[in-house]
Amino acid sequence: MPVGFKGSGHTPSGDPPLGRPSRGRAGVVSWSMAALLTRSNIPNLLTCLRLVLAAGFFALLSGYQFPEGPEWLLRAAAGLFVVAAATDALDGYLARTWNAVSAFGRIMDPFADKVLVLGAFVMLAGPGFTLVEGWGGIGVPGRSPELLSTQISGVAPWMAIVILARELLVTTIRAVLESRGIDFSASGSGKAKMVVQSVGVPAILLLCSGIEATSMHFMTTVLIDELRPGQYPQAQLARVIAWLVTIVTAWSAVPYVTRAATALRPSPPEASE
């Protein structure tokens, strides 16, 4: 019979010694879960959970098409986004409180945030939220017929580009400075940006879910010369929120750029005596 490691209760192969009953599968699972749910692992598990929730969020929005709906997809997606955003606040708080900041967390936490937020704005600017109102300009001298449409989410494609550009800029600046050993942790403007985005996205989704689909199954033979956005007050409010989120997001980059310019400014040469 092989000799086990002293005090381990196991043979060198890692199996329980002969004659001693095994803990069984339930015991192994219980021990594995206990080993996984430690203070050093919980923040990282929350980050991974956020990625899973983001995937579910995108799946829900992929099944939605205005005006056919179904509207419950938007309400469910809004709920998932709120839970995912809550994990962002919680994992950072726990990591700082428990002194469990890790390299994995420093990489995956901002990655999960960007996947969730950028993906949300890409979806909101997509065809699932486009209302085709009909043809305009037919029979108008000097005007070519054109298909008129509006984005009921209020999120224009250029807004998603602005938000993406901001994230790429700040991420690049942070990578350069931290490679030089300069601390470039999140500022107050970045936290304010995340709060506005976390409130704005579900608010837009809930507003879109409340738009009445009655009389919105337009055919391309409908003749109209201009859109009447006031006909859809929820869409107008969603547009205001989208503008607010875009402006706050773009503004939040300014303090980072200022800090980077100060940190990278060459030191003046010392005056010779």
| Residue 224: predicted pLDDT | 37
| Residue 187: predicted pLDDT | 81
Lowest average pLDDT, out of 25-39, 108-122, 199-213, 228-242, goes to 25-39
The reply to whether 117 falls in a domain is yes
The reply to whether 249 falls in a domain is yes
Structural domain including 131 reads 37-261
| Residue 122: predicted pLDDT | 96
* 29-81: pLDDT as tens digits: 565 556 567 777 899 999 999 999 999 999 999 999 988 889 999 999 999 99
Q: Using CB atoms within 10 A of its CB, is residue 123 exposed (0-12), middle (13-18) or buried (19+)?
A: buried
The reply to whether 10 falls in a domain is no
* 219-241: pLDDT as tens digits: 333 333 344 445 678 888 999 99
Predicted structure pTM score: 0.77
Please report, rounded to a whole number, the percentage of residues in the chain having pLDDT higher than 70. Answer: 71
The reply to whether 268 falls in a domain is no
User: What total number of domains does the chain contain?
Assistant: 1
The reply to whether 156 falls in a domain is yes
| Residue 39: predicted pLDDT | 76
The reply to whether 63 falls in a domain is yes
CATH code of 218's domain: 1.20.120.1760
| Residue 266: predicted pLDDT | 80
Q: Characterize 224-235 residue by residue with b for buried, 16 or more Cβ atoms within 10 angstroms of its Cβ, and e for exposed.
A: eeeeeeeebebb
* 133-168: pLDDT as tens digits: 655 544 445 555 565 678 899 999 999 999 999 999
The reply to whether 22 falls in a domain is no
Within 10 angstroms of residue 21's Cβ, the number of other Cβ atoms is 6
The reply to whether 266 falls in a domain is no
